[in-house]
A and B are shown apart, each in its own frame.
Chain A
Amino acid sequence: ETGVTQTPRHLVMGMTNKKSLKCEQHLGHNAMYWYKQSAKKPLELMFVYNFKEQTENNSVPSRFSPECPNSSHLFLHLHTLQPEDSALYLCASSQGAGGPGDTQYFGPGTRLTVL
């Protein structure tokens, strides 16, 4: 595997379910990100991890819980989601943790549908 991989690619869950999204980067980067992508809206940054430490949490509801066990893996644990949480969830990685020139490399995303 190369680049950034995400599993599953598609997920349908009920509002009372608990599920997890997984992201793995094979680029040797130090920072990893979770984004939410909704149609016709800017990408919403959710969480940033740099060297396994969370450096940003953009007022994300507690029903989203990130976990970064090492610099290569990132999880997003989901519980008691709402239908408005349905979106494409993108994982990205970069060498640094932001700033000019710090290119982010994205995975293909997990398409989440909350019923």
Chain B
Amino acid sequence: QQQVKQSPQSLIVQKGGIPIINCAYENTAFDYFPWYQQFPGKGPALLIAIRPDVSEKKEGRFTISFNKSAKQFSLHIMDSQPGDSATYFCAASYSNYQLIWGAGTKLIIKP
């Protein structure tokens, strides 16, 4: 119930492609869904987040799509660049509870 399942574990995309990372959850009480980006040698940093009252949120080249009925949300990266190569984590939380994290996706954008 408290898990967030993230897929794929790793992903290789050509420059300019649109990598898609998916997450699924069971607990319908979750009401905050952030994505964090982690570069090698750095800690994770908040990239973009969504609440369940909207189905999509865009910030620059990054888009979260949210499907409340399917209990799934995904991250899309438009016009991907080699500099986007990083590990991406989805997470979920509700009320005063702490973030529940996905296992991460290692993304490589090939030039």
Residues of A within 8 A of B (CB): 4, 40-43, 45, 48, 56, 90-92, 97-101, 103-109
Please provide the 6 A-B residue pairs with the shortest distance between their CB atoms, ordered closest to farther.
A106-B43, A100-B32, A42-B101, A43-B101, A99-B96, A98-B98
Residues of B within 8 A of A (CB): 4, 9, 31-32, 34, 41-46, 49, 51, 89, 93-104
CB atoms of A106 and B44 under 8 A apart: yes
CB atoms of A100 and B98 under 8 A apart: no
CB atoms of B103 and A99 under 8 A apart: no
CB atoms of A42 and B4 under 8 A apart: yes
CB atoms of B43 and A90 under 8 A apart: yes
User: Binding site of B, secondary structure by majority: helix, strand, loop or mixed?
Assistant: loop
CB atoms of B98 and A45 under 8 A apart: yes
Residues of A within 8 A of B45 (CB): 105-106
CB atoms of B43 and A4 under 8 A apart: yes
Residues of B within 8 A of A4 (CB): 43
Residues of A within 8 A of B103 (CB): 40-42
Q: Give 23 pairs: A residue, B residue, CB < 8 Å, sorted on A.
A: A41-B103, A42-B101, A42-B102, A43-B44, A43-B99, A45-B98, A56-B98, A90-B43, A90-B44, A91-B43, A92-B43, A98-B93, A98-B99, A99-B94, A100-B32, A100-B94, A100-B95, A103-B34, A103-B46, A105-B45, A106-B44, A107-B43, A108-B42
